[in-house]
Amino acid sequence: MFVVLLAAHPGALGQERHEAPLHSDGDHWQFRVVEHGDYMKTDRELNGVYELIYKSGRFRAFKVEGSRKAELKSDTGLLVGLLAQTEKLQYLQFPLYKGRSWTTEYMFRPRRRDADRLVKAVTSVTDFGATTTEIGTFQTFTIERDARFRDVDHWRFGYFWSPRTRSVVKYLMEVLKGAAAGSKREIELIQFGPAR
């Protein structure tokens, strides 16, 4: 009986497992986004520093330029997806534990395209271990994602979610196939803090 209970519980025998985090008003994170490749250079490029603040049950996103912050009114799905489970992209699906996987289909409009594309993504939690960033070393879930639009476009993602920061601390997206092949996006957490 004891053995059966251990085998039935994904958190048994030291397996790390994490439920969806709870956020408090004032929790905040800053991320640096760097995009590589000429294809990424459009009015929709994301290069820069962004701050996300949790308030009144939702995340607000700001572009940070020096001491100024401008609130973003749209196109915040990617940034919010670094912190929480979103309905569309589903970068995260809780609970997280090694061996978990899920499939997502969503509409996406690539840069320099006039039509949306139905993307199918398969996401897997492959490990739990230490990840080092410029602000420290964190225990993280390693998450790998393979996304495709038919046989036309192919993207690969790797990102690391930390229970301590309640966010992704590192993220890399590479375009493997399509008009943007060779382009990359890197995101790193550069600051975080609990509600003040």
Domain at 23-193: CATH code: 2.40.360
Could you tell me if 120 and 105 are in contact, meaning their C-beta atoms sit under 8 angstroms apart? yes
Phi, psi dihedrals of residue 92, rounded to the nearest 5°: -120, 140
Domain ranges of the chain: 23-193
With left for phi above 0 and alpha for psi between -120 and 50, is residue 117 left, alpha or beta?
beta
**What pLDDT does 8 receive?**
40
The whole-number pLDDT of residue 180 equals 82
DSSP line for 45-64:
---EEEEEEEETTEEEEEEE
Token pair 């080092």 is found at 132
**Residue 88 pLDDT:** 84
Q: How far apart are CA 104 and CA 110, in angstroms?
A: 17
Where helices occur in the chain by DSSP H, the ranges are: 2-8, 77-80
pLDDT at 42: 65
Predicted confidence at residue 125, as pLDDT, reads 98
pLDDT in tens, the chain (196 residues): 434 443 444 444 457 999 999 999 999 999 999 999 877 776 666 889 999 999 999 999 999 999 999 999 877 888 999 999 888 889 999 999 999 999 999 887 766 667 777 889 999 999 999 999 999 999 999 999 999 988 888 999 999 999 999 999 999 999 999 888 899 999 999 999 986 6
- Taken in order 108, 110, 30, 52, the sign of the CA dihedral is negative
**187, 195, 194, 192: which is closest to 49 by C-alpha?**
187
What is this structure's pTM? Answer: 0.86
> In angstroms, rounded to a whole number, what is the distance separating the alpha carbons of residues 57 and 165?
18
Per-residue confidence (pLDDT) for residue 165, from 0 to 100: 96
Joined together, the tokens standing for residue 150 give 């038919």
Distance CA 76, CA 111 (A): 15
| H/E run at residue 33 | strand 28-36
| Bridge partners (DSSP) listed for residue 188 | 32, 170
Report the alpha-carbon distance of residue 173 to residue 56 in Å, rounded. 31
Length of the chain: 196
In the prediction, which pLDDT does 104 show?
94
